[in-house]
Amino acid sequence: MNSGTWTRIDQLARKLAPFVTTVLLVVLSCLPISVPGMGSIAPAIALMAVFYWTIQRPELLPPIAVFAIGFIQDALSGEVLGLSSFVFLLVHAIVVGQRRFFLGKSFLLTWWGFTVVAAGAEFVLWVLASLVALHLIDPEPVLMQTVLTIALFPCVSWLLVRVHRAFLASADA
Amino acid sequence: MAQRPGPVLRIATPIRALAQRFAFLMLLAGAIGLVVLGKIDTLLVERVRVHVADAFTPILGALSEPLRTAESMVEELRDLGRLRAENDLLREQNERLLRWQTVARKLESENRELRELLNFKSGRIPNQVTARVIADSGGAFVRSVLVDAGARDGVEKGLAAVTGLGLVGRVIEVGRRSARILLVTDLNSRIPVVLAGSGQRAVLAGDNSDRPRLLYLPADLNILAGERVVTSGHGGVFPPGLPVGMIARVGQGEVRVEPLIGWSELDIVRLIDFRQPIDELAGPPVLDLDPGR
């Protein structure tokens, strides 16, 4: 009985792994990291995590969790509240629809898929942010951010694969 | 997941899918609703954001500590490499500064004498709080930072954020233990400034790039790159004479200013209340950046 409760708690903790790691990455991406020459542009790490978990374990990252991740991202980074939630939800919906295309394929293909998704997501963000600001936002930093996000995707994926194996390997089998 | 779908599951699955789709659409609408709400009721959304930021402040503060240590270690290693060259430079600079010190001492005593002569009362010492930057938006759409001091430390909305180099921005949101600073480079930042050389007034407008623009300059004005830009004190948020940046580029009807703050090294900021009460506006505001007092 007692061990059953513990097993259930353990399972719940494992099931929360996608959400918790993504929130953790959101917090990490907000830390003031100074990389000389990089300026103040940071990659959209949360987008990578949403993309990764949506492909691998969409049932553990339901839309409400995606919404919450976007909400925390906006609240911490000071961006317009709701924008990231909206874009993450769109990414989630599109990737769920194309999941079979990515599952079990080579990493290069996944990376290519992420390139398309990230470029689209940043473009939508840029259009929406410009609309909200009633001013055409300088596209250069947005472009920089997109390139950086795509370039760093392999690193973050590697990390997420480790987390995935550590917490959810038994559940995957 | 189920091996053999029974009749219940066969009916339940499409219903569940429908419910999920509905929930998804509701969330999407909710996100758009939040954006619109942020436009209509700024205060409410601001309060929500401040609460979330407050909740994450201890985590951000704790996480940024080892990061800072690692950064300073890298910095130290790099410093070791250029120790000799730096030494020479510093020796030369020291010599020059010593000469300036003599000048400053002379001016200080002269100033004191003149003040005594005029019976001049120096103004109030502005309320100030020192805070650490714990989060940097790093986004392409906003330029703001979160600091680890809030209402409980005496931070208020509208305080000016400065470092030893000059103006960083101003406080726009205040939580209990955190506050958000809008940087001078943000799209929404407008600061009345004056060109130190010509005395020409302008408005420094951020556009999310690293170099904000100068607005409302006369077309025929001859501006040289390198000219200092300081706050003009109009509007009452910032005192006059606070250094902001240098003219970086002049061209195509556009003048860009290079801020004095190195954005990647932004670590400790001082939040200072320069807002003068109406009755004190008559006297010259006192610019006292010395934390010792």
Q: What is the pLDDT of residues A90-120, one digit of tens each?
A: 999 999 988 888 887 889 999 999 999 999 9
pLDDT above 70 for B289:
no
Helix pair B42-81, B83-118: axis angle to 10 deg: 130
Task: Give the nearest partner residue to B139 out of A63, A77, A81, using CB atoms.
Answer: A77
Backbone angles phi, psi at B81, to 5 degrees: -65, -35
Half-sphere exposure (Cβ direction) of A89: Cα atoms closer than 13 Å: 24
CA distance A164 to chain B (A): 19
Percent of all residues in chain B with a pLDDT value above 90, rounded to a whole number: 28
Task: Give the nearest partner residue to B49 out of A38, A42, A81, using CB atoms.
Answer: A81
Task: Give the nearest partner residue to B59 out of A27, A29, A142, using CB atoms.
Answer: A27
- Whether B27 has its CB under 8 Å from any CB of chain A: the answer is yes
Task: Give the nearest partner residue to B141 out of A34, A89, A137, using CB atoms.
Answer: A137
Residue A5 included in any domain: no
Beta partners for residue B169, in sequence order: B161, B183
CA distance B219 to chain A (A): 23
| Nearest-angstrom CA–CA distance, A39 and B244 | 18
Residue A57 included in any domain: yes
Which of B21, B69, B141 best tests the A interface by mutation, with the highest count of A CBs <10 A? B141
Q: What residues of A are in contact with residue B75 (Cβ under 8 Å)?
A: none
CA distance B97 to chain A (A): 28
Q: Are A88 and A46 in contact (CB under 8 A)?
A: yes
| Nearest-angstrom CA–CA distance, A83 and B139 | 13
The burial class, CB within 10 Å (0-12 / 13-18 / 19+), for B48 is middle
Give the model's pLDDT for residue B291.
Answer: 46
Domain interval for residue A52: 19-26+39-172
Task: Give the nearest partner residue to B145 out of A32, A133, A144, using CB atoms.
Answer: A32
pLDDT band at B2 (very low <50, low <70, confident <90, very high): very low
Domain total of chain A? 1
Task: Give the nearest partner residue to B137 out of A36, A78, A135, using CB atoms.
Answer: A78
Beta partners for residue B202, in sequence order: B193
Residue A13 included in any domain: no
Give the model's pLDDT for residue B27.
Answer: 93
Query: Residue B25 corresponds to which tokens in the numbers above?
Result: 């659409």
| Nearest-angstrom CA–CA distance, B208 and B188 | 9
pLDDT band at B123 (very low <50, low <70, confident <90, very high): low
- Could you report the per-residue pLDDT of B231-242, keeping only the tens digit for each? 988 887 888 888
Query: Among the listed ranges A32-36, A55-59, A165-169, which one has the minimum average pLDDT value?
Result: A32-36
Q: Are B217 and B223 in contact (CB under 8 A)?
A: yes
> Which residue in chain B has the smallest CA separation from A70?
B31
Give the model's pLDDT for residue A133.
Answer: 84
Give the model's pLDDT for residue B6.
Answer: 67
Query: Among the listed ranges A63-77, B187-201, B211-225, B279-293, which one has the minimum average pLDDT value?
Result: B279-293
Q: Which of residues 27-56 of A touch B (CB under 8 A)?
A: 27-36, 38-42
> Which residue in chain B has the smallest CA separation from A31?
B135
Query: Among the listed ranges A107-111, B15-19, B168-172, B217-221, which one has the minimum average pLDDT value?
Result: B217-221
Reference A168, options A20, A65, A69; nearest CA is: A20
Percent of all residues in chain B with a pLDDT value above 70, rounded to a whole number: 87
Q: What residues of A are in contact with residue B52 (Cβ under 8 Å)?
A: 71-72, 75-76
Query: Among the listed ranges B6-10, B14-18, B123-127, B226-230, which one has the minimum average pLDDT value?
Result: B123-127
- Whether B38 has its CB under 8 Å from any CB of chain A: the answer is yes
| Nearest-angstrom CA–CA distance, B181 and B133 | 9
Average pLDDT over residues B169-196: 91
| Nearest-angstrom CA–CA distance, A74 and B181 | 15
- Whole-angstrom CA distances from A84 to A69, A90, B67 are 8, 10, 26
CB contact under 8 A, B138 and A40: yes
Give the model's pLDDT for residue B86.
Answer: 86
| pTM of the complete model | 0.80
Query: Residue A158 corresponds to which tokens in the numbers above?
Result: 């590697």
Average pLDDT over residues A150-157: 93
pLDDT band at A124 (very low <50, low <70, confident <90, very high): very high
Mean pLDDT (chain B) is: 83
Q: What are the residues whose beta carbons fall under 8 Å from the beta carbon of A133, sequence distance 6 or more?
A: B187, B188
> Which residue in chain B has the smallest CA separation from A42?
B138
| ipTM of predicted assembly, 2 dp | 0.85
Task: Give the nearest partner residue to A40 out of B24, B38, B264, using CB atoms.
Answer: B264
Give the model's pLDDT for residue B124.
Answer: 59
- Whole-angstrom CA distances from B130 to B161, B164, B260, B290 are 9, 12, 19, 12
- Whole-angstrom CA distances from B3 to A100, B28, B30, B134, B293 are 20, 33, 36, 50, 76
| Nearest-angstrom CA–CA distance, A122 and A133 | 16
| Nearest-angstrom CA–CA distance, A146 and A150 | 6
CB contact under 8 A, B67 and A39: no
User: Does B220 or A71 have the greater pLDDT score?
Assistant: A71
pLDDT band at A43 (very low <50, low <70, confident <90, very high): confident
pLDDT band at B279 (very low <50, low <70, confident <90, very high): very low
Long-range Cβ contacts of B37-44 (<8 Å, 24+ apart): B37/A81, B37/A82, B38/A80, B38/A81, B38/A82, B38/A132, B39/A132
Give the model's pLDDT for residue B11.
Answer: 76
Average pLDDT over residues B236-257: 85
- Whether A90 has its CB under 8 Å from any CB of chain B: the answer is yes
Average pLDDT over residues A34-46: 69
pLDDT band at A36 (very low <50, low <70, confident <90, very high): low
CB contact under 8 A, B266 and A67: no
Residue A11 included in any domain: no
CB contact under 8 A, B49 and A74: yes
CB contact under 8 A, B28 and A140: no
Query: Residue B61 corresponds to which tokens in the numbers above?
Result: 């503060």
Average pLDDT over residues B250-267: 81
Average pLDDT over residues B189-218: 88
CB contact under 8 A, A77 and B71: no
Residue A51 included in any domain: yes
Residue A14 included in any domain: no
> Which residue in chain A has the smallest CA separation from B38?
A81
pLDDT band at B69 (very low <50, low <70, confident <90, very high): confident
Mean pLDDT (chain A) is: 87
Most confident of A12-16, A47-51, B76-80, B197-201: A47-51
The kind and range of the H/E element at A41 are: none
Which of A15, A33, A40, A67 best tests the B interface by mutation, with the highest count of B CBs <10 A? A40
